[in-house]
Structure 1
Amino acid sequence: MDAIAQQPTGIPIAEVEQATGIARATLRIWERRYGFPQPGRDARGERSYPQQQVGKLRRIAELMAQGYRPGRLVQLEPAELAAIEAPAPGALAGRAHAVAAADDVVLDSLRSHDPVALRQMLELRIRSAGLAGFVCDELPRMNAVVGDGWSCGGLQVFEEHLYTETVQVLLRAHLARLPPADAEAPRVLLATLPEESHGLGLLMAQAMFMLEGWACTSLGVRVPVGQVVSAASAFEADVVGLSFTASANPAHVQRSLEQLRAELPAGLPIWCGGSSHIVVRRRVPGVQHVAHVRDIPAMSAPWQDRLARRISAASSAG
């Protein structure tokens, strides 16, 4: 048995670093960003990790060495991690190389602190892929590359913030150029609840809703549950859309969603996207999971049919 496995009070962070090969700075970053690992504290106030978490970290380190990304791995249970099979030789390496080559300019512009180059590159990708293609395909991949760079210590916090802010400013500029929604269009209210401070996913959803012709009202981030309820009534929302990242506290997410569902009218749908464990796997009753922003057009189909009927009825009446 390993020496570290014999310590009943938990394993110090220095020994966890040695046992897993994951730098202690990375462990602290994951703790803040993903909510895992969740160390206790020893008598001196230092981080101390349960053996089960160390075992999970070892498996995560093995999978990262095979090319998997940590952002997804830390959300899985140990049994799920154990079930992941090794990729075919060179498969993940080839994919990782292709992604890295495609996104070198993103990381280079961030590391060289060149926001002009970053914005120009993002503009080119929007022109090439179209706004929907950029939001559904380009942006999720770039988000993962930048997020992994930050979580592994390859990017500084301010560099990740530069990326996020540049993307948000650019997306808002493009959304402002879209034609206004029809007066009879379905209405969506977008927000994040108090436990979620990240707004990029919300903005990506707004782009897809607006491209589908929805009238969108976004309240931004950290909106109290009661205010979401009041706004849904004030704006006569047909759908309430929320977003949660993996870093949001799962217990808080669960409570807030249950409260929101109880206080909103029973017939008002709640659509919830993002990578929170609660949203993806536990599923709060009465809350519909949006697995990816590209699913929004298909989910919008019933409302688009309703819009077509409204317009047809208005034309007949005229």
Structure 2
Amino acid sequence: MTSSSSETPIWYAIADVERDTGLSKDTLRVWERRYGFPMPARDALGERQYDGQQLIRLRHIRRLIDAGHRPGRVVALSLEELVALNTQTQGEQIQPKTERAEAASMSAGGSLSAVVMERWMQMLRSQDAHGLRQALAQAVMERGLARMVIECVAPMNVLVGQSWLEGRLAVYEEHLYTEIVQSVMRQALGQMAQAHAPKPPRILLTTLPGEVHGLGLLMAECFMVLEGCHTIPLGVQTPLPDIVTATATSGADIVALGFTASQNPREVRAALEQLRERLPPQVEIWAGGQCPVLYKPQRGRLPGAPPVFWPMGRLEDIQAGVARWRALGRAEVPA
């Protein structure tokens, strides 16, 4: 969303920045006084106005803070320093899982080439929704749903997310991509549901309040349906009491939650512990996504006690999780 010198600059109100980054207005004002950044201009009414470069810096700052960095260390850094630190942080936290996913993809036939990914990105930038939808549908036919999700959707998610973070992709373009991918995967799921009757476990899928991203959850549902599971998708941002009620009403055996790196790690752990206390002990909690706190040791549990939640670091972990659950003999699984 950057612009050249010949174009009219795009300005964002403080409310726009708050919605985009998740940083509160009070936080932005405090940083302005304490660290000298951001440095908003003022409109004719004296209201703060932020340019595109400041918005991009704030996105990087938010991601670093979510990864555990202190504001005093990162707020005053230049964009180049933030990008370098963000790249280092992502390498430390995500690269091991990425390498395993890439190895699995290569053994199954290989991820998308850079040429194909760039072609799909051009479709997205030109608003060619039909072309991108057709390309994704063709990938499902050629690779199957599981390989399409791992080899096509997963790397495209990374590219689209990074392009948005760096200001090379507008918010509406990211939303268009998400809608197209979701429509293709839901169509594939609908076809599978007609072909096979679901079996246990019954898995309820949702996110907690504050987590508005549901694409990763839908990707996980694809793998659950491929394992023959009965899925109950609630969408995003379901309050804890409603999750508990829905679990009881639906008879769910597992509650699967999705998290992105933008969520506060302490709040994520606290919410998972609260949910564990409210759910029956036989109902498992599965938690997946890019929030680093999910993959840290769960301390404070009694010896032999089950975990608060089962971390799902990769989509491929779902198959093992379903097999483990079924091996416990909690439900009769038809042959």
TM-score normalized by the length of structure 2: 0.69
Across the two proteins, how many residue pairs are aligned to each other?
266
Q: Look up the match of 2:59.
A: 29
CA, structure 1 residues 33+9, in 2 after alignment: closer, same or farther (shift >3 Å)? closer
Distance in 2, Cα, partners of 1:304 & 1:37? 35
1:173 lines up with 2:198 in the alignment: no
Q: Which moved more, 1:130-139 or 1:30-39?
A: 30-39
Shift of 1:217: 0.5
Q: Look up the match of 1:103.
A: 117
Which of 2, 8, 12 aligns to 2:37? It is 12
1:227 lines up with 2:249 in the alignment: no
Q: Which amino acid aligns with 2:239?
A: P
Q: Look up the match of 1:267.
A: 282
Distance in 1, Cα, partners of 2:128 & 2:198? 42
Q: Look up the match of 2:311.
A: 289
Which of 219, 244, 247 aligns to 2:259? It is 244
Distance in 1, Cα, partners of 2:180 & 2:88? 24
Distance in 1, Cα, partners of 2:84 & 2:267? 31
Distance in 1, Cα, partners of 2:313 & 2:77? 29
Distance in 2, Cα, partners of 1:158 & 1:169? 16
Q: Which amino acid aligns with 2:35?
A: G
Q: Look up the match of 1:316.
A: none
Structure 1: 5+ residue stretches without partners: 1-7, 15-21, 41-48, 81-97, 313-318
Secondary structure of 2:232's match? strand
Distance in 1, Cα, partners of 2:64 & 2:316? 24
Q: Which amino acid aligns with 2:249?
A: A
Distance in 2, Cα, partners of 1:39 & 1:69? 12
Distance in 2, Cα, partners of 1:183 & 1:38? 41
Structure 2: 5+ residue stretches without partners: 1-32, 40-51, 96-111, 300-306
Contact between 1:283 and 1:289, CA under 8 Å: does it hold in 2?
no
CA, structure 1 residues 166+35, in 2 after alignment: closer, same or farther (shift >3 Å)? farther
Q: Look up the match of 1:153.
A: 167
Shift of 1:259: 1.0
Which of 123, 145, 151 aligns to 1:131? It is 145
- What CA RMSD, in Å, does the superposition of the two structures yield over aligned residues? 3.4
Distance in 2, Cα, partners of 1:184 & 1:38? 40
Equivalences for residues 208-223 of structure 1 within 5 A: 208-223=223-238
CA, structure 1 residues 27+190, in 2 after alignment: closer, same or farther (shift >3 Å)? same
Q: Which amino acid aligns with 1:177?
A: Q
- Offset from partner CA, 1:242-277 (integer Å, 9 cap, x none): 001111233332222121111011222100000113
Distance in 2, Cα, partners of 1:150 & 1:63? 18
Distance in 1, Cα, partners of 2:125 & 2:332? 52
Q: Which moved more, 1:165-174 or 1:248-257?
A: 248-257
Contact between 1:254 and 1:278, CA under 8 Å: does it hold in 2?
yes
CA, structure 1 residues 302+143, in 2 after alignment: closer, same or farther (shift >3 Å)? same
Contact between 1:195 and 1:252, CA under 8 Å: does it hold in 2?
no
Contact between 2:200 and 2:331, CA under 8 Å: does it hold in 1?
no
Shift of 1:184: 4.8
Shift of 1:39: 11
Shift of 1:300: 1.1
Distance in 2, Cα, partners of 1:113 & 1:74? 35
Shift of 1:56: 10
Equivalences for residues 40-51 of structure 1 within 5 A: 50-51=72-73
Q: Which amino acid aligns with 2:58?
A: R
Q: Which amino acid aligns with 1:262?
A: E
Secondary structure of 2:282's match? coil
Contact between 1:33 and 1:246, CA under 8 Å: does it hold in 2?
yes
Contact between 1:27 and 1:37, CA under 8 Å: does it hold in 2?
no
Contact between 2:35 and 2:75, CA under 8 Å: does it hold in 1?
no
1:277 lines up with 2:292 in the alignment: yes
CA, structure 1 residues 37+205, in 2 after alignment: closer, same or farther (shift >3 Å)? closer
